Amino acid sequence: GAGVSQSPSNKVTEKGKDVELRCDPISGHTALYWYRQSLGQGLEFLIYFQGNSAPDKSGLPSDRFSAERTGGSVSTLTIQRTQQEDSAVYLCASSLADVSPGRFFSYEQYFGPGTRLTVT
């Protein structure tokens, strides 16, 4: 079946512009994650969705970053007034999830190919 897809694959934008990144998860995966990876670095967690809800937004670097998910499927990550330090590869992942009150149990995450964002 189809994997996680992301668009665009590459985005070059001028400082101060807004950008929108899209993620299409694997069908049936209720959990969706956004990460950021700067050159040569590990993955930095940004935000997690369970269904359309984002219980944990603590990883968003600033209020210029926002994300939403509709219909329990597609998610968009929006960066307003982009800065050069926003340049990175933005990775989306989806997974099954076992969620009960006060408990979260993760399964393996399936990653998309990423969007390489360059802010000039």
Partner 1 sequence: SQQGEEDPQALSIQEGENATMNCSYKTSINNLQWYRQNSGRGLVHLILIRSNEREKHSGRLRVTLDTSKKSSSLLITASRAADTASYFCATDKGAQKLVFGQGTRLTINP
By rule CB under 8 A, what string of x and - marks binding of each residue 5-24 to partner 1?
Answer: --------------------
Kindly compute the dihedral angle of the four CA atoms of residues 44, 10, 62, 110, in this order, to the nearest 10 degrees.
Answer: -40
Nearest distance in Å: CB 38, partner 1: 10
**Of 21-29, 47-55, 62-70, 72-80, which segment contacts partner 1 by CB under 8 A?**
47-55
Beta strands in 25-109 (DSSP E): 31-37, 43-50, 53-56, 65-69, 75-79, 88-95, 97-100, 103-106
Closest CA to 117 of 16, 20, 3: 20
**Of 15-23, 61-69, 75-83, 104-112, which segment contacts partner 1 by CB under 8 A?**
104-112
Nearest distance in Å: CB 52, partner 1: 15
CA 102 – CA 100 distance, rounded (Å): 6
Can residue 109 be called a binding residue for partner 1 (CB under 8 A)? yes
Of residues 61 through 90, those in contact with partner 1 by CB under 8 A are 89
Can residue 45 be called a binding residue for partner 1 (CB under 8 A)? yes
